[in-house]
Structure 1
């Protein structure tokens, strides 16, 4: 634990969310009328001044993620060290409550890793909500204080355990046992995340440190185990069991995928919506600081079945994402989250070619379908560079910050802002009612007001608009 949008949404509110219903989220029960259709990723970003707080990202497919709240923290810790890492989100079996549990640790304060390992907080930080958007003030829960020589409490997770009719809360604590000081996984039962049963040793690897364990539940009617867990113990080790507190069987690790504990940590496990067989795993590339790398499997019973998603078939969004968890959510929950914490990243959808979105490629601009990498079709809509008014807009690339769409010779391309008045004028558009559909949007050139942004043979340019086809080509939906 050292480091530990389709229309991108279903509408302009459709950037959001997921997690393994039981990976860390406990038992989940979606109604037939409103099944889980999106995902919420809860995470932190790193050791910056604001990085060790609660960040939210959303997805409608579990592959392409958008940063909520304009990539800024959604929740801030005001207790303990006033910083949190490794957050995990939990849904109650009846869906009436949610909890976020997180490590009480802020390396950015200057305390250092040595102190965090040997004399860190014995508490975890907890938030509670009934709707995912209104959260309680955070509180501290002492989980390691009763552990002999317990020196910290890291990477908490929780899962509903039907065998005990309570949540099983588990975490890593560094302590001395049989003369060996190392991190082991401890666990306890809770019903409210305000008090716990006496902590019990859950996973002991002897002299090998183990942290970042996460559990997911699956339907084992077709064979295999009911539960699977992934842990950082020198490798990313995968085990299976038919009960949370029972015996666990070694399934394998990710060395066959070229991933070792020296490369990655903080595994997230989650189940994809609409299936009992397809699962995702994110592993934190802490050694290179590149954030999460996604894997997928349609057969979780063997570690060899995990496949790394190829570049261009996913996007983790603009912020670096570090050890967190994924929660499966409903469309209504997605809408609430998106309304509360809107995403800075938008996609611009063609009105008359609904499967195509504005994107940049080789610094030219066009509308395409199946954009890869996905971030090529994501934009931050800034106030117009030329006048800064609310009625004008400039399109800044998400994956090329500082680069904007601008017209040159009436063709549109992606260029770095050089600070000139000419660039500002070329990169500014007035946002007006759609020329073909007033519920949509058209973009009028700021410095050539007789011309509008439109596609022609799928390439973007600014042109005078006269025909019905022109009006369709110059109309877009922003979401």
Structure 2
């Protein structure tokens, strides 16, 4: 009897805990949205095919974050990414960026990318939208017969299966026809997936690449998707993995798949309106919004707003995704990647034509640095949190910092450890050779300073005039 009572008590406590957890989950999901975050890429170069961010307060006027510079760089696969999707967990406590592993003009052309491209997606994970894991590769097309690539991924939480439906385009031969189709798999963590299944196909030789699904809270269909299949086709369904009904396409308002691609849904935080952003790839003009009060209505009722009513910011936005932000999320993102952060170079005192730069993750001083971004850094508060200290974050490798290892300097990705934080943190003091310049004292080896020796950056004790000159720098913009 006592055992029965104990089991009942345990069950009661478990039920209460589950109820509290469910309540917390709902509360997190119901926090009011106050802004918008757009993840995208900007063009065809190795630097342009990375992750960029933009912010908006109204969903129509966008400001480039991080001074328009990239915020995440892929160091896996092809070392480039396109078509990023932003995914938030139902509880709002975890986020993923999933993207196409593709870098055109970085040793790969379009023909190779279509017919023998990466079968992987690139994935990052975060618990706060600002500190991201190292990227990893997720093989999604390797199990598809004759699967030749994996492009334009998206994911949506499916309450029917309590996990995510991950879907993407793969060029493969099926029934004698080689073309892009949409495949889907289920995942709970974006590290492993179920066996991919054919998800969307079009008749004949018509391919389909870009698809994005949204959940619509009211209306005739619970889910709506927009797809690039020669048109921009709108479909509705009450089940993500169920039957979909064709609602029409955007040709009635003058937009076809030969003009636009990369459909990107966004629900406005106030009112009942939605925007379907479309990348004007054919004319090279980036995104424009198409507005509707109900995505599940025939798309002939959608409308294109006047160009004067929206602004996409300084960079060209290419195929991406928009996430509605809570006030807490918005505050973190804007603090981490402000739009007006200073970009600096570090000039040598005794070799004034030379600047600190990274090359193959080694660090030295050089003249005429190319690419110029290799010699550009952001002086951020010391990452170990010590008051009055600084760290040097690379502009073209965000999340990578100058750090000393065995008194030598490298550019390395922050790993969250106390050792790394100490090695990458310095006190900015009056220049040892000239008080109008600057020297940088190691935080964890305070008897040592950053200096160059044979043009290589080192961390050394300074004992003579040559060392004082070598350890003196000017921060320039």
Structure 2 partner of 1:335: 331
Structure 1 residues 345 and 67, CA gap change in structure 2 (3 angstroms):
farther
Structure 2 partner of 1:299: 294
Query: Per-residue deviation at 1:111?
Result: 1.0
> 2-side partners of 1:321 and 1:332: how far apart?
25
Structure 2 partner of 1:204: 201
Structure 1 residues 82 and 331, CA gap change in structure 2 (3 angstroms):
same
> 2-side partners of 1:112 and 1:35: how far apart?
44
- Do structure 1's residue 246 and structure 2's residue 242 form an aligned pair? yes
The structure in which a higher percent of residues are helix is: 2
Structure 1 residues 104 and 167, CA gap change in structure 2 (3 angstroms):
same
Structure 2 partner of 1:149: 146
Structure 1 partner of 2:316: 320
> 1-side partners of 2:105 and 2:317: how far apart?
16
Structure 2 partner of 1:63: 60
* Contiguous gaps of at least 5 residues in structure 1: 1-27, 347-479
Aligned partners of 1:216 and 1:271 also within 8 Å: no
Structure 1 residues 178 and 138, CA gap change in structure 2 (3 angstroms):
same
Query: Per-residue deviation at 1:31?
Result: 4.7
Structure 2 partner of 1:387: none
> 2-side partners of 1:203 and 1:290: how far apart?
28
Structure 2 partner of 1:460: none
SS of match in other structure, 2:43: coil
Q: Residue 135 of structure 1 is aligned with which of 129, 132, 136?
A: 132
What are the Cα deviations for residues 439-479 of structure 1, in whole angstroms up to 9, with x where unaligned?
Answer: xxxxxxxxxxxxxxxxxxxxxxxxxxxxxxxxxxxxxxxxx
- Do structure 1's residue 279 and structure 2's residue 274 form an aligned pair? yes
TM-score (norm 2): 0.65
Which of 1 and 2 has higher RCO (CA within 8 Å, sep 6+)?
1
Structure 1 partner of 2:160: 163
Query: Per-residue deviation at 1:30?
Result: 6.0
Q: Residue 110 of structure 2 is aligned with which of 113, 133, 136?
A: 113
Structure 1 residues 33 and 212, CA gap change in structure 2 (3 angstroms):
closer
* Contiguous gaps of at least 5 residues in structure 2: 1-24, 343-477
SS of match in other structure, 2:113: helix
SS of match in other structure, 1:114: helix
Q: What CA RMSD, in Å, does the superposition of the two structures yield over aligned residues?
A: 1.6
Aligned partners of 1:66 and 1:345 also within 8 Å: no
Structure 2 partner of 1:257: 253
Structure 2 partner of 1:290: 285
Query: Per-residue deviation at 1:53?
Result: 0.2
SS of match in other structure, 1:338: helix
Give the total of aligned pairs: 316
> 1-side partners of 2:43 and 2:248: how far apart?
29
TM-score (norm 1): 0.64
For residues 385-424 of structure 1, the aligned pairs below 5 Å read none
Structure 1 partner of 2:262: 266
Deviates more, 1:204-213 or 1:228-237: 204-213
* Higher-Rg member (1/2): 2
Query: Per-residue deviation at 1:219?
Result: 1.4
Structure 1 residues 29 and 74, CA gap change in structure 2 (3 angstroms):
farther
SS of match in other structure, 2:308: coil
SS of match in other structure, 1:307: coil
Query: Per-residue deviation at 1:34?
Result: 4.0
Deviates more, 1:106-115 or 1:187-196: 106-115
> 1-side partners of 2:133 and 2:318: how far apart?
24
Query: Per-residue deviation at 1:192?
Result: 0.3
Structure 2 partner of 1:216: 214
For residues 88-107 of structure 1, the aligned pairs below 5 Å read 88-107=85-104
Query: Per-residue deviation at 1:49?
Result: 3.0
SS of match in other structure, 2:281: coil
What are the Cα deviations for residues 193-250 of structure 1, in whole angstroms up to 9, with x where unaligned?
Answer: 0000000000011321101100010113xx3100000000000000000010000000
